[in-house]
């Protein structure tokens, strides 16, 4: 399977984050993709550099104001004080209910809070370049499928599915899966199905497509009453306006077994099969793995091969986009198991 990787991902390498109120080393780190790339090469998959510029598509899924901020955020931070080049910026205030979000503050930390859903998405000097190259990889993978390939894989970090129209969060800055879906739509797909199998709900993707009927969004994830991102991902969120009926959330309790998880996958696949979709995008989060340090599902490595085989049975041109998965050493095996299962089928 052709894989588009991100040659700039290592430039996004923040040192620490805040987890449960404590400062800890980043779970989302360059080694994650290094392991995946190694496993891909060992099993004979081709890796290619991005060959499509995602700039035009990014403006279709994200607001111009957000993109303008993100592109220059690090320079803005350093311009506040040159010593900030050695300091990671974190937001400390957010425009919650009754506060205004239409006016962009002059204060940098306030601007950062305006465009952030949490303080768990650390930035570094190379964040924009890495995120943009990842979006280029997603656009390239989707373009290859639109041109006739059966499937492709976007192997990138930082991930994307928590990034909404005008905010970052959950390690995500640009929504790579949304970029892939939009490229497929722009290049002729009447409807795209987008299935998110990450342990954490793809709140950003849902927000981007919630009022659209041309992209069916389905997510299998930990129950938001107890699991991040907490404030979206409930079963009663089914779409609005023209998108009514085109959003399906399948939340599952922490500790869910593989058998129960695959029952939810079957429901998702049946909905995709009946949707009239012309193409499929998979937000391939691999943190449903039983050994993941920040998630609580129970899939074993061999279950990811089964996942790939079931997705292949849908018979749709498919773009896989890497999302979460924080058991870094096992991430390569689990990712390539999905791809090999898909190809074997």
Cis upstream peptide for 39 (omega within 30°): no
Angstrom distance (rounded) from CA 202 to CA 196: 7
- The angle at the Cα of 71, spanning 70 to 77, to the nearest 5 degrees, equals 70
Which residues share a beta bridge with 238?
none
Q: What is the 3-state secondary structure (H, E, C) of 196-259?
A: ECCCCCCHHHHHHHCCCCCEEEEEEEECCCCCCCCCCCCCCCCCCHHHCCCEEEEEECCCCCHH
162 is catalytic: yes
Q: What is the 3-state secondary structure (H, E, C) of 273-297?
A: HCCCCCEEEEEECCCCECCCCCCCC
In sign, the C-alpha dihedral spanning 70, 74, 75, 80 is: positive
Candidates 5, 9, 45, 162; catalytic one: 162
- Residue in this structure with the two tokens 């005008």, named with its chain if needed: 166
- Which residues are designated catalytic? 162
């Amino acid at each position: 399977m052709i894989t588009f990787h991100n040659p700039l991902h290592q430039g996004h390498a923040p040192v620490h984050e805040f987890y449960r109120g404590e400062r800890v080393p980043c779970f989302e780190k360059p080694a994650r993709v290094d392991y995946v790339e190694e496993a891909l090469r060992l099993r004979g998959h081709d890796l290619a550099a991005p060959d499509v510029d995602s700039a035009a598509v990014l403006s279709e899924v994200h607001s111009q104001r957000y993109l303008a901020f993100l592109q220059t955020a690090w320079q803005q931070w350093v311009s506040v004080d040159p010593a900030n080049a050695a300091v990671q910026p974190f937001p400390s205030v957010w425009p919650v209910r009754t506060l205004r979000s239409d006016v962009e503050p002059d204060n940098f930390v306030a601007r950062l809070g305006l465009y952030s859903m949490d303080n768990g998405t650390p930035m570094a000097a190379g964040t924009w370049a890495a995120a943009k190259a990842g979006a280029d990889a997603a656009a390239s993978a989707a373009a290859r499928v639109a041109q006739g390939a059966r499937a492709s894989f976007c192997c990138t970090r930082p991930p994307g599915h928590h990034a909404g129209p005008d905010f970052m969060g959950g390690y995500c800055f640009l929504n790579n899966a949304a970029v892939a879906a939009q490229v497929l739509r722009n290049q002729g797909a009447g409807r795209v199905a987008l299935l998110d199998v990450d342990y954490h709900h793809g709140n950003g993707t849902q927000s981007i497509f919630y009022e659209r009927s041309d992209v069916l969004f389905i997510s299998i994830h930990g129950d938001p009453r107890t699991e991040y991102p907490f404030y979206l991902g409930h079963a009663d969120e089914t779409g609005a306006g023209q998108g009514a009926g085109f959003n399906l959330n399948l939340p599952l309790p922490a500790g869910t077994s593989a058998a129960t998880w695959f029952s939810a996958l079957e429901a998702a696949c049946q909905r995709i099969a009946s949707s009239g979709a012309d193409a499929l995008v998979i937000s391939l989060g691999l943190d449903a793995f039983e050994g993941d340090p920040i998630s609580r599902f129970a899939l074993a490595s061999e279950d990811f091969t089964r996942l790939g085989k079931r997705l292949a049975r849908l018979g749709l041109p498919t773009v896989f986009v890497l999302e979460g998965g924080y058991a870094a050493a096992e991430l390569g095996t689990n990712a390539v198991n999905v791809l090999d299962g898909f190809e074997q089928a």
